[in-house]
Structure 1
Amino acid sequence: MGWFSPSDDKTATKPTSADSIAPNRSQRVRCWEARDALFKCLDANSIIDSMKDKDLVTEKCGKEDVEFRKKCVASWVDYFKKRRVMEYKKEQMLKGLAKEGAVKMDVPLPPPKA
């Protein structure tokens, strides 16, 4: 498969016109509320990576996961779940650095080039 050639992958789904419509404000709010409910359940059950631990998520937080998938665009579901894991890893790394005595340094960024 080349960079600009059409994909021969039969498993790839083609986007529909409904996929390209951006959610409005109330839809976004419902999505975020469903995300927060799922993440609260995941926290209560000590589940960090809901993509890796799918069976456990289905068992412990199945209702919340279904609502999250129903109320959010699929790309947002993946994004939020991956971001949760990234944020957890970042937090753990910062805690580890703090234990080692690392000190946060505020370094000013250079001005942007015109």
Structure 2
Amino acid sequence: MGLLSSLGLSSPPPPKTTAPDRTERQKCWEARDQFFACLDKNDILDSIKHGDSASKKCGGELKVFERDCASSWVEYFKKRRVQEYKKAKLLEQMEAEGGQQLSAVTTGIDQAAKK
């Protein structure tokens, strides 16, 4: 018998090691979208940098998001939200200054592969 069980305590179950299935991913994405909608409603972009405010205003949604998604996914989605915002703002700024988006450039190798 281990020390924890002899004290009447149990250890937490081991973390899930299999990849989430389609249903679990969908549940995660829905929780993410609800959390992000709450952040948008409260004008919070970065829930990592402004964690206290995000927890205070969107605590319920955050708990569901953290429950339904792997912790690595939660961190990834939070960071990606900020990166996507910065990318969109940069593109807006470049277009306002007269910049144009470039299409993909094909190389000689690409041309040879098409033949």
Bin the TM-score by the shorter chain: 0.7 to 0.9
5+ long unaligned stretches in structure 2: 1-12
Q: How does 1:9-48 map to 2 (within 5 A)?
A: 18-48=15-45
Q: Which has the higher helix share?
A: 2
TM-score by length of 2: 0.78
| Aligned with residue 56 of structure 1, among 53, 61, 69 | 53
Deviation at 1:98, TM superposition (A): 1.0
Summarize the Cα distance change of 1:57–1:105 in structure 2 as closer, same or farther, 3 Å threshold. same
Identity rate of aligned residues, in percent? 44
2:84 is the alignment partner of 1:87: yes
Summarize the Cα distance change of 1:31–1:104 in structure 2 as closer, same or farther, 3 Å threshold. same
Q: Measure, in 1, the Cα distance between the counterparts of 2:47 and 2:106.
A: 36
Q: Measure, in 2, the Cα distance between the counterparts of 1:112 and 1:59.
A: 55
5+ long unaligned stretches in structure 1: 1-15
Of structures 1 and 2, the one with the larger relative CO (CA 8 A, separation 6+) is 1
TM-score by length of 1: 0.79
